[in-house]
């Protein structure tokens, strides 16, 4: 252990708290690092004061003010393809013989089986419903619920298919 002059304590604190290898540790963990390498009169008070005045730590501790959503329990399916998760991956480079630029991803909630359907970003709800019907429902049966975070297409598709939409 090294005894450090009071004039150097801020350099030690900066190294033990601010350096990329320290990562703005909590006050307790910074205290442990300082204790392992130096001693100085009132060093514990210095650590407390240094951590309380660290801008990065103070800003990281503040809440963003956003209200958190309520968690809801989603019903567990009793059979495969009863409940599915659905999402679109858009902004893809055009590919395939029809220059698809999006992908509709459907995942069975029961068995976690994914199906990836190439599509176009501007496909209509009716076109998407037909794609789902021909490529998923015809092979796996009709599902009762679709879980999605997109508002427009599932709300239009679900009445066409006679299933319920759960929006996340």
Q: Cβ of 81: how many Cβ atoms within 10 Å? A: 21
Residue pLDDT, tens place only, 15-27: 888 877 777 778 8
pTM of the model: 0.56
Q: 92 is in which domain, residue-wise?
A: 83-167
Instruction: Say if residues 108 and 79 touch (Cβ distance below 8 Å).
Output: no
My answer on whether 52 and 95 are in the same domain is: no
If pLDDT is split at 50, 70 and 90, which confidence band does 78 have? very high
If pLDDT is split at 50, 70 and 90, which confidence band does 40 have? confident
Counting the structural domains of the chain, the total is: 2
Query: Helix, strand, coil: what percent of the chain each, to 5?
Result: 40, 20, 40
Highest mean pLDDT out of 12-16, 100-104, 120-124: 100-104
CATH number at 92 reads 3.30.420.10
Residues 6+ apart with CB under 8 A from 146: 83, 84, 85, 86, 154, 157, 158, 163, 164, 165, 166
The beta strands (E) that lie in the chain are given as: 2-3, 38-39, 83-89, 102-108, 114-119, 145-148, 164-167
If pLDDT is split at 50, 70 and 90, which confidence band does 34 have? confident
My answer on whether 92 and 148 are in the same domain is: yes
Residue pLDDT, tens place only, 122-132: 988 888 888 99
If pLDDT is split at 50, 70 and 90, which confidence band does 68 have? low
pLDDT of residue 153: 65
Percentage, residues of the chain above pLDDT 90: 29
Look at residue 146 and give its three-state secondary structure: strand
CA distance 74 to 167: 11
My answer on whether 89 and 163 are in the same domain is: yes
Q: Is residue 38 domain-resident?
A: yes
Q: What is the mean pLDDT of residues 76-90?
A: 93
My answer on whether 31 and 98 are in the same domain is: no
Taking only Cα atoms into account, the Rg of the chain, rounded to an integer number of angstroms, comes to 28
CA distance 112 to 65: 35
Instruction: Say if residues 86 and 106 touch (Cβ distance below 8 Å).
Output: yes
If pLDDT is split at 50, 70 and 90, which confidence band does 74 have? confident
Q: What is the mean pLDDT of residues 107-115?
A: 95
Q: Is residue 72 domain-resident?
A: no
- With tokens 């968690």, the residue in question is 71
My answer on whether 49 and 88 are in the same domain is: no
Q: Is residue 66 domain-resident?
A: no
Checking if the pLDDT of 61 tops 60, the result is no
């Amino acid at each position: 252990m090294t005894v450090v002059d009071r004039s150097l304590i801020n350099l030690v604190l900066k190294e033990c708290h601010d350096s990329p290898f320290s990562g703005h540790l909590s006050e307790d963990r910074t205290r442990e690092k300082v204790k392992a390498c130096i001693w100085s009169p009132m060093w514990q008070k210095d650590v407390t004061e240094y951590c309380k005045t660290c801008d990065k730590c103070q800003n990281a501790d503040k809440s963003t003010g956003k209200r958190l959503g309520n968690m809801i329990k989603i019903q567990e399916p009793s059979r495969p393809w009863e409940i599915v998760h659905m999402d679109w991956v858009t902004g893809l480079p055009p590919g395939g013989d029809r220059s698809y630029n999006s992908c509709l991803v459907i995942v069975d909630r029961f068995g976690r089986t994914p199906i990836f359907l190439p599509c176009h970003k501007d496909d209509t709800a009716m076109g998407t419903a037909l794609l789902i019907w021909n490529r998923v429902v015809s092979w796996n049966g009709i599902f009762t619920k679709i879980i999605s975070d997109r508002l427009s297409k599932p709300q239009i598709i679900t009445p066409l298919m006679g299933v319920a939409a759960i929006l996340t």
